């Protein structure tokens, strides 16, 4: 299957734009507004769910056999849980943020009423020339801290800035694309998939396609805490497809340059007939794919089923290495995922 280069360039550009909008779980309004406007600018009806996600209607003839695409715009992050006596901040995680791969990252503290402040997430007593136990110290939320880029040395100093418990802490994504086509950034899970769905929407618009079956998208905002897809399934949908990262790692088949088709994750198997059809579609269209069983994973599609919806479900996504860390994918993986969406839904 051939796909014009413009669609890959477009999805990478939109991925970069949305990656740079801070949106840890619980602080997603700006990213959701961007998503809604982008779909509207492409000519599609988009509206907010009460939880804050965005529902999009792509049209289609058969409204009694609709399909819902799900991807999420919420990411990992932190929240201020304590202002320490030395003027540093202790955090609690939002989603699966891990202090081991967050250490030394630049952060932004979003206060409720006093603007934003910069800082760095560091191990307590982070100077190697001072801390004799630097190598031994376990990286935990209680043993790490945000060092604010402000002249603060006490609890009162920090409070005077307007920083308080419950403020959101965003970690820099550090997005870049290499000459060889690798995409490196935090939060490709799952903003790369949102970029892919943008490109899918553009493809429908550019080619004046009316799908045979009604197609919708729900860009969710609580996937990282497990209930993003619990609700907001449009009437008439019989199938839900999560577009999320494909896992890359030891004992798995997928690489960053492929689209991953998930047969089973830690919550159980995906619909057998959908998995078979996705594989056959990839084979028939010469799309580079892999099939895997993910050892530690859950998706929006499963959340939709756990909420009581009667749906067939599937999961695909571009291969992503170093999940929940500084992640890496490739243009080819994004392109193959877009190709599979087009072939599965529109051909």
Q: How many Å apart are CA 237 and CA 309, to the nearest integer?
A: 9
Residue-averaged pLDDT of the chain? 97
Q: For position 347, what pLDDT does the model report?
A: 83
Q: Quick one: tokens of 177? A: 């694309």
The residues assigned a catalytic role are 223
Please state the rounded mean pLDDT for residues 327-339.
98
Tell me: pLDDT of 48 over 90.
yes
Tell me: pLDDT of 1 over 90.
no
The candidate with the shortest Cα–Cα distance to 277, out of 266, 265, 289, 268, is 289
**Whether the bond into 232 is cis, omega within 30 of 0:** no
Q: How many Å apart are CA 258 and CA 227, to the nearest integer?
A: 28
Q: What is the pLDDT of residues 13-42, one digit of tens each?
A: 999 999 999 999 999 999 999 999 999 999
Q: What angle do CA 266, 228, 144 make, to 5 degrees?
A: 75
Q: Quick one: tokens of 187? A: 């939060």
Q: What is the pLDDT of residues 53-87, one digit of tens each?
A: 999 999 999 999 999 999 999 999 999 999 999 99
Helices and strands: H and E segment counts in the chain: 7, 19
The candidate with the shortest Cα–Cα distance to 33, out of 45, 43, 19, 48, is 48
Q: Quick one: tokens of 225? A: 């805490």
Q: For position 261, what pLDDT does the model report?
A: 98
Question: 10 Å Cβ neighbour count for 289?
Answer: 24
Q: At 241, phi and psi to the nearest 5?
A: -130, 115
Judge contact between 298 and 222, C-beta under 8 A.
no
DSSP assignment letter at 129: T
CA dihedral 19, 20, 26, 27 (to 10 degrees): -150
Where are the extended beta strands (E) located within the chain? 45-48, 54-59, 62-72, 77-83, 89-94, 106-110, 116-123, 144-148, 168-171, 176-177, 182-185, 213-220, 237-243, 246-248, 259-265, 268-269, 289-293, 312-321, 327-330
Q: For position 307, what pLDDT does the model report?
A: 97
Total length of the chain = 347
Q: Write the CB contacts of 279 (distance below 8 Å, at least 6 apart in sequence).
A: 261, 289, 291
Q: What is the pLDDT of residues 93-142, one digit of tens each?
A: 999 999 999 999 999 999 999 999 999 999 999 999 999 999 999 999 99
pLDDT band at 253 (very low <50, low <70, confident <90, very high): very high
Q: For position 52, what pLDDT does the model report?
A: 98
User: Please, what is the angle between helix 29-41 and helix 5-19, to 10°?
Assistant: 150
Q: What angle do CA 102, 108, 111 make, to 5 degrees?
A: 130
Q: For position 94, what pLDDT does the model report?
A: 98
Domain limits of the chain? 5-75+187-346, 78-171
CA 324 to chain centre: 10
**pLDDT-above-90 percentage for the chain:** 99
Q: What dotted CATH number matches 78-171?
A: 2.40.30.40
The candidate with the shortest Cα–Cα distance to 337, out of 147, 235, 193, 237, is 193
Q: Write the CB contacts of 107 (distance below 8 Å, at least 6 apart in sequence).
A: 78, 118, 119, 120, 121, 146, 169, 170, 171, 172
Q: What is the pLDDT of residues 138-172, one digit of tens each?
A: 999 999 999 999 999 999 999 999 999 999 999 99
Q: What dotted CATH number matches 5-75+187-346?
A: 3.40.630.10
Distances (CA, A) of 21 to 17, 102, 303: 7, 18, 25
Q: How many Å apart are CA 148 and CA 251, to the nearest integer?
A: 41
Q: At 73, phi and psi to the nearest 5?
A: -105, -10
Q: At 345, phi and psi to the nearest 5?
A: -100, -25
């Amino acid at each position: 299957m051939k796909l014009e280069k413009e669609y890959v360039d477009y999805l990478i550009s939109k991925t970069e734009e949305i990656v740079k909008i801070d949106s840890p779980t619980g602080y997603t309004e700006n990213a959701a507004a961007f998503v809604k406007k982008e779909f509207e600018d492409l000519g599609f009806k988009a509206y907010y769910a009460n939880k804050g996600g965005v529902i999009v209607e792509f049209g289609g003839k058969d409204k009694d056999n609709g399909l819902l695409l799900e991807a999420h715009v919420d990411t990992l992050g932190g929240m201020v849980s304590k202002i320490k006596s030395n003027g540093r901040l202790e955090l609690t995680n939002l989603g699966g943020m891990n202090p081991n791969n967050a250490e030394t990252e630049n952060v932004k503290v979003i206060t409720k009423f006093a603007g934003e402040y910069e800082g760095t997430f560091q191990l307590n007593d982070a100077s190697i020339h001072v801390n004799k136990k630097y190598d031994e110290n376990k990286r935990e939320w209680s043993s790490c801290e945000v060092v604010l880029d402000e002249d603060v040395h006490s609890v009162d100093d920090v409070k005077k800035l307007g920083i308080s418990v419950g403020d959101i802490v965003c970690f820099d994504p550090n997005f870049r694309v290499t000459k060889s086509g690798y995409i490196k950034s935090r939060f490709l899970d799952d903003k790369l998939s949102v970029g892919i769905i943008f490109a899918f929407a553009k493809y429908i618009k550019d080619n004046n396609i009316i799908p045979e079956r009604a197609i919708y998208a729900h860009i969710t905002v609580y996937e990282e805490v497990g209930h993003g897809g619990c609700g907001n399934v449009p009437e008439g949908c019989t199938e839900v497809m999560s577009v999320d990262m494909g896992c890359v790692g030891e004992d798995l088949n997928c690489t960053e340059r492929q689209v991953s088709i998930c047969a089973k994750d830690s919550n159980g198997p995906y619909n057998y007939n959908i998995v078979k059809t996705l594989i056959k579609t990839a084979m028939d269209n010469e799309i580079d794919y892999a099939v895997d069983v993910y050892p530690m994973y859950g998706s929006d599609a499963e959340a939709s089923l756990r909420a009581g919806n009667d749906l067939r479900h599937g999961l695909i996504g571009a291969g992503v290495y170093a999940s929940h860390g500084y992640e890496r994918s490739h243009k080819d993986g994004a392109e193959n995922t877009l190709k599979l969406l087009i072939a599965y839904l529109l051909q």
